Amino acid sequence: MFNPIGSSVIKIDELDSTNVYLQQISGLQTVDEGMLIWTERQLSGRGQQGNSWYSKEGESLTFSFILSPVFLYADEQFYLSKAFSIAVNQFLVRKFQLKAQIKWPNDILLNGNKIAGILIENIILGNKLKQSIVGIGININNRVFPEHLKATSVYLNSHCNVSLKECIDEIIPLLNEMYSLVILKQWKEIDRLYFDSLYGYEKVLRFYSDHYFNGRIVHVDNLGYLHVETDAGVEKYTFKEIAFC
Ligand code: BTN
């Protein structure tokens, strides 16, 4: 089986951002597919939508790996997001017995607080993917967070102090397992696992998009659109168009 993720695992003491570092070195030299870079001291972590990602030395797990998913069409790229959010969620559920859930599109939440985040940066050539840099941040041993963040950690929920290297070693097989489903284009299986862990799936929730309304998440499609059903029918939303209340 092709298990590229973690083909080499490199720890660097301090980096601005593991995503940016991989972007820079892959622009300068050929890097092996699956190379994984991690650091215990990430100084300017990047989050989704231009946000920053908070991390603390020795407490936060911060890593990125590089892939060449040249077999994927641009309109299939959200399956990478689905697959890796399933893997991160499985890691938290299986290793720490936490009741974590995926919040659309790919946040990982525990009791309404964010415990992990994923930032995937793709390069597209024509209608196919050329390169993906997948960055993952998981709050492992964190004791406290800045007040404005609705965040939590493994430590705050299980009181165990965990080795970050051990987490890397244990999450790699889960990431590879999910990536092989992407390689095989097992969309139904990925969807089944994603919807199984999706916060609010098939439940009535309160949303805001121009106005407040109640609706039920009925689908997330291959482009990542959230499909919400109300009495008026089913509407599709992109990330910026809708908020959970
Ligand atoms: C999010 O906003 O939810 C995505 C957060 C992704 C954070 C990780 S930490 C490792 C990698 N390097 C970065 O600069 N960002 C990602």
Q: For strand 211-220 and strand 204-209, is the pairing parallel, antiparallel, or unpaired? A: antiparallel
pLDDT of residue 184: 97
Token code pair at residue 135: 């960055």
At position 15, the amino acid (one-letter code) is L
Q: Ligand 1 atom 11: the closest Cα is on which residue? A: 135
Distance CA 194, CA 201 (A): 10
- Whether pTM exceeds 0.95: yes
Mutate to test the pocket of ligand 1, among 12, 19, 145 (most ligand atoms within 8 A of CB): 19
User: Is the backbone peptide bond immediately before 105 cis, with ω within 30 degrees of 0?
Assistant: yes
pLDDT of residue 210: 93
State CA 25 to chain mean position distance: 22
DSSP three-state, residue 4:
coil
Nearest to residue 40, comparing CAs of 130, 207, 167, 216?
Answer: 167
Q: Ligand 1 atom 15: the closest Cα is on which residue? A: 46
In sequence order, which residues have a C-beta less than 8 Å from that of residue 169 and are 6 or more positions away?
none
Q: Which residue has the tokens 């059903």?
A: 229
In sign, the C-alpha dihedral spanning 38, 44, 47, 50 is negative
What is the number of the ligand 1 atom nearest to the C-alpha of 48? Answer: 2
What is the number of the ligand 1 atom nearest to the C-alpha of 17? Answer: 14
Distance CA 135, CA 20 (A): 10
| pLDDT tens per residue across span 201-215 | 999 999 999 999 999
Nearest to residue 87, comparing CAs of 147, 212, 199, 171?
Answer: 171
At position 212, the amino acid (one-letter code) is Y
| Alpha-carbon separation of residue 176 from 112, 172, 194 (angstroms) | 28, 6, 16
pLDDT at 1 over 90: no
Mean pLDDT to the nearest integer, 64-91: 98
* Secondary structure E strands in the chain: 9-11, 14-15, 36-39, 41-42, 45-46, 52-53, 60-67, 101-103, 107-110, 113-125, 128-139, 204-209, 211-220, 226-230, 233-237, 243-244
| pLDDT tens per residue across span 91-104 | 999 999 999 999 99
Mean pLDDT to the nearest integer, 29-44: 96
Q: Give percent of the chain above pLDDT 90.
A: 96
| pLDDT tens per residue across span 165-196 | 999 999 999 999 999 999 999 999 999 999 99
pLDDT at 2 over 90: no
Mutate to test the pocket of ligand 1, among 53, 56, 140 (most ligand atoms within 8 A of CB): 53
Q: Between residues 240 and 181, which one has the greater pLDDT?
A: 181
